[in-house]
Copies of this chain bind each other. A is one copy, B any other.
Amino acid sequence: MRQITLDEVVSLLKENDDFLILTHRYPDGDTLGSSYALCHILRKMGKKANVLIDGNLPKLMSYLADDYEELSFEPSYIISVDVAAPALLGENMTQYKDKINLCIDHHGSNTMDAENIYVDANAAAASEIIFEILELCDINIDKDIACALYTGISTDTGCFCYSNTTERTHIYAAKLMSHCDWKKINRKNFQTKTRSKLKMERMVYDTMEFYAGGKCSIIYITQSMIKMLNAGDDEMEGLASIPSQVEGVLMGITMREKPDGIFKISVRTNEGINASDFCKQFGGGGHPGAAGCTIKGDLASVKYRLIKACEETL
C-alpha cells in the first residue's frame, strides 16, 4: 500500500489494461459519475474497461449508462472509485476486495486496502479528481464524460450549495457545461420529485418533533410507512437533510427502520456541533457535519435514547 501522486495515477492507467472499476454500495451520482467517466476515458485511451455496480443502476441515474456497453474480458487491474472503506463495496465485489490495484477517493477517512492509493480530501467529489485525470491524460472531453463528471460534481455538492464546494468545483463545472446537457441533469436531479417521493416527504413531515428548545429536530421512517407507500431507495433519497434544515435546529436526526427492525440513524448538524462524535457513542461515525450509526430497539425506546443523548450534547 503506497500513497501516490496524480501523475503516478495517470502512469498506472497508461501502463495497464483490462480495467474493472468498483463503485460503492447504494450508488450515488458521484461514485457512478466518476466511475463511468473514468471508464469512458480509459476506453478513449484504447483500453478495455468496465464498471461494476452493486445491484441495479438507480432509475434516476440510468442516463449515465446511455452510451455504455459492458465489454467481455477478464479484468486484470482493479480500481475502486469514491469507495471510503472495504465494507462499502457491494456483495458482488467480494472477490476483488483484496486485489484492488488502485484506490481513487476524496474521503479523508479512507481506509481502503489497495496497492496504490490516491486520496484528495479537498476534492468536493471523486469526479473532480477524474476531471483532473482527464486533463492530465490529454483526452478530448466528450458528451459522455462531461455528463458523468457534471453529474458527480453537482450531486455531491447539492448543486454547488454544500460547504464542500470550492473554487475549483465551480471552475470545473464551467469547463464541463458546454459539453453536456447540464440543464437536463439539474432538472432530473434537483428539480423533479416523483409523486411517491412527495407522498413519503409528506408522511415524514408528519413525524417531525422538536426537542432541546427547538435545537433538535427528529423524524422517522418505519417499515410500515415504507410498505404503505411501496417506497424504494429513490423515495428515501434526501430525507436525512430535512430535519436539520429547519430554522434554529442545530442537530437533525433521521431514524429509518431497516427490514430487520434495526434503526439506521442519520445525523446532520449545523454551527459546529459534531455529528461524528455524537454517533460514536452509538458505535457509528462519519463527518463532523454528517454522520450515522445503527441502533437496535423499538421506535419509542430508540427515539428516547437519541433525544436524551441529543439534549446532553446541546
Contact = CB atoms under 8 A, between A and B. Distances in A.
A178 B163 CA distance: 13
A295 interface: no
Contacts of A191: 161, 245
Contact of A270 (B174, B187, B198): B187
A228 interface: no
Given A205-B202, A270-B187, A247 B194 contact: yes
A194 B174 CA distance: 33
Interface stretch (A101-109, A165-173, A280-288): A165-173
Contacts of A171: 170-171, 174
Interface string A145-172: 0000000000000111111001110110
Given A202-B202, A270-B187, A173 B192 contact: no
20 contacts: A158-B159, A159-B160, A159-B161, A160-B161, A160-B173, A161-B186, A161-B190, A161-B191, A167-B175, A170-B170, A170-B174, A170-B177, A171-B171, A192-B247, A193-B247, A194-B247, A195-B247, A198-B208, A202-B205, A202-B206
A214 B158 CA distance: 28
A246 B193 contact: yes
Contact of A183 (B163, B187, B192, B193): B163
Interface residues of A, number: 38
Interface in A243-279: 245-248, 270
A193 B159 contact: no
A234 to B, nearest CB: 10
Given A192-B245, A247-B192, A167 B178 contact: yes
A167 to B, nearest CB: 4
Interface string A229-248: 00000000000000001111
A127 B193 CA distance: 30
A162 B190 CA distance: 10
Contacts of A183: 163
A198 B245 CA distance: 10
A132 to B, nearest CB: 16
Given A159-B159, A161-B159, A246 B178 contact: no
A174 B167 contact: yes
A246 B170 contact: no
Instruction: Name, among A167, A194, A205, the residue most crowded by chain B CB atoms within 10 Å (CB to CB).
Output: A167
A205 B199 CA distance: 9
Contacts of A170: 160, 170-171, 173-174, 177
Interface string A179-210: 00001001100111111001001100110101
Contacts of A205: 198, 201-202
